[in-house]
Amino acid sequence: MSQPPTNPPAEKDGLHPRNRHRGRYDFAALQRATPELAQFVAPNPFGDESLDFANPEAVKTLNKALLRQFYHVPHWDIPAGYLAPPIPGRADYVHYLADLLAKTNGGEVPTGKRVRVLDVGVGANCIYPIIGHREYGWRFVGSDVDPVAIRVAKQIVASNPGLSGAIDCRLQPRASDIFSGIVKANELFDLTMCNPPFHASAAEAEAANRRKTQNLGTKPVPNFGGQSNELWYEGGEATFTWRMAEESALQRHNCLWFSTLISKKETLPGLYKTLEKRGAVEVRTIGMSQGQKVSRIVAWTFLNPEQQQQWRQRRWQAGPAPVPTVPESGHVK
Ligand SMILES: C[S@@+](CC[C@H](N)C(=O)[O-])C[C@H]1O[C@@H](n2cnc3c(N)ncnc32)[C@H](O)[C@@H]1O
């Protein structure tokens, strides 16, 4: 006998406790702040208001509304075909990194401009710097090999209050480089983060797109949810993160914690091996789950506990720094 459909839980328990998106989307409030969202909102089989998540325009417009309502970013747009990120999942990575820094800081998340973060592969959407700055006041450098992504990310930064001066977007001139060409001499970062290109080839990215749209029961959408060059890299996630691990060893004294998302568990053994070979002192794997999708952050440091404490004293103990206020809800003018 077939079971009646059950409504999804109101609280997304899998998300980080500080994630602002643990509750169900309040479509009424979102539409008040972003009226163009209304055209995409319709009742789902359970009678609740929902959105066609297979429609990139709908997802992009939801992102606009969420960024406006939760992150004080009234002007956000990306060109057609660029990755419209699921914001709750992106926010989770930022909050888990905040916890990681807190461990080096006596349990307290260091906030404000004294914390500097490098986002490798910032994308046109500039999502991690926006969330990290609005939540914790951190300063960001975002790198990308795609000149369009850098131009759009810079536009987002320039057109929203308080982001200029907090987020610096830099073009990586060589696709094979990760930190080299971006990190300036003597520049220090408390964290690096990255959502790496996942697939090993354009064909693989397109096949995955086809499978995903088939599962959602819709027609394949060209460049569904991301430019193909945003989603693939010669050798895929494993090669990209291997390069990152290798290069991080050259920056071992310029950064407290390096980190990356890892989507494929098969990538983990190779990454751990490289980090061990290069002398990482501590490697942490932090699990994250968003709905059915399970992912993880791998973070590593080349600094021993004593050096970590020295880092803390030198960089964060200059007194508390103010964090910009993020409204809980409501349209930000
Ligand atoms: C999966 S997308 C992530 C975009 C965004 N951070 C997000 O999470 O939605 C990966 C990004 O890495 C960029 N990328 C590829 N190779 C790179 C490199 N060597 N250095 C910096 N960015 C790179 C791509 O252009 C793309 O924007």
Write out pLDDT tens, residues 15-37: 999 999 999 899 999 999 899 99
9, part of any domain: no
Is 100's C-beta closer than 6 angstroms to any atom of ligand 1? no
What's the mean pLDDT in 274-278? 98
Q: Rank 13-22, 188-197, 204-213 by mean pLDDT and report only the highest.
A: 188-197
Domain boundary among 67, 84, 101: 84
Is 145's C-beta closer than 6 angstroms to any atom of ligand 1? yes
What's the mean pLDDT in 64-69? 96
Predicted pLDDT at 331: 32
Cβ-defined contacts of 97-102 (< 8 Å, 24+): 97/132, 97/191, 97/193, 97/257, 97/259, 97/297, 97/299, 98/18, 98/135, 98/136, 100/191, 100/257, 100/259, 100/284, 100/286, 100/299, 101/190, 101/191, 101/256, 101/257
Residue among 169, 171, 114 nearest 137 (CA):
114
Shared-domain flag, residues 155 and 64:
no
52, part of any domain: yes
One-letter amino acid at 223 equals N
Is the pLDDT confidence value at 74 over 50?
yes
Is the pLDDT confidence value at 162 over 80?
yes
Distance in angstroms (rounded) separating the CA atoms of residues 285 and 299: 6
Residue 171 half-sphere exposure, CB side, CA atoms within 13 Å?
A: 9
Is 247's C-beta closer than 6 angstroms to any atom of ligand 1? no
Is the pLDDT confidence value at 290 over 50?
yes
Report CA(333)–ligand 1 centroid distance (Å).
Answer: 31
Report CA(51)–ligand 1 centroid distance (Å).
Answer: 27
Predicted pLDDT at 201: 72
Is 299's C-beta closer than 6 angstroms to any atom of ligand 1? no
Is 171's C-beta closer than 6 angstroms to any atom of ligand 1? no
Shared-domain flag, residues 42 and 182:
no
Distance in angstroms (rounded) separating the CA atoms of residues 320 and 103: 17
Report CA(149)–ligand 1 centroid distance (Å).
Answer: 9
pLDDT confidence of 59, banded at 50, 70, 90? very high
Collect all residues with Cβ–Cβ distance below 8 Å to 326 and sequence separation of at least 6: 70, 71, 72, 134, 135
Report CA(27)–ligand 1 centroid distance (Å).
Answer: 30
Distance in angstroms (rounded) separating the CA atoms of residues 34 and 217: 28
Higher-pLDDT residue of 330, 103: 103
Distance in angstroms (rounded) separating the CA atoms of residues 331 and 251: 42
Q: Rank 220-224, 256-260, 286-290 by mean pLDDT and report only the highest.
A: 256-260
Predicted pLDDT at 329: 41
Interface predicted TM-score (ipTM) over 0.90: yes
Shared-domain flag, residues 151 and 71:
no
What's the mean pLDDT in 81-103? 95
Is the pLDDT confidence value at 104 over 90?
yes
Collect all residues with Cβ–Cβ distance below 8 Å to 45 and sequence separation of at least 6: 5
Q: How many domains does the chain have?
A: 2
Is 232's C-beta closer than 6 angstroms to any atom of ligand 1? no
What's the mean pLDDT in 53-80? 94
Shared-domain flag, residues 72 and 193:
no
Is 142's C-beta closer than 6 angstroms to any atom of ligand 1? no
DSSP state at residue 115: -
User: By alpha-carbon position, which residue is closest to atom 2 of ligand 1?
Assistant: 230
Report CA(197)–ligand 1 centroid distance (Å).
Answer: 6
Average pLDDT over all residues of the chain: 88
What's the mean pLDDT in 296-303? 98
Residue among 117, 72, 65, 111 nearest 87 (CA):
65
Is 143's C-beta closer than 6 angstroms to any atom of ligand 1? yes
Is the pLDDT confidence value at 227 over 90?
no
For residue 299, the cross-strand partners are 259, 284
Shared-domain flag, residues 132 and 267:
yes
Question: Residue 66 sits in which domain range?
Answer: 23-84
Report CA(35)–ligand 1 centroid distance (Å).
Answer: 31
What's the mean pLDDT in 82-89? 92
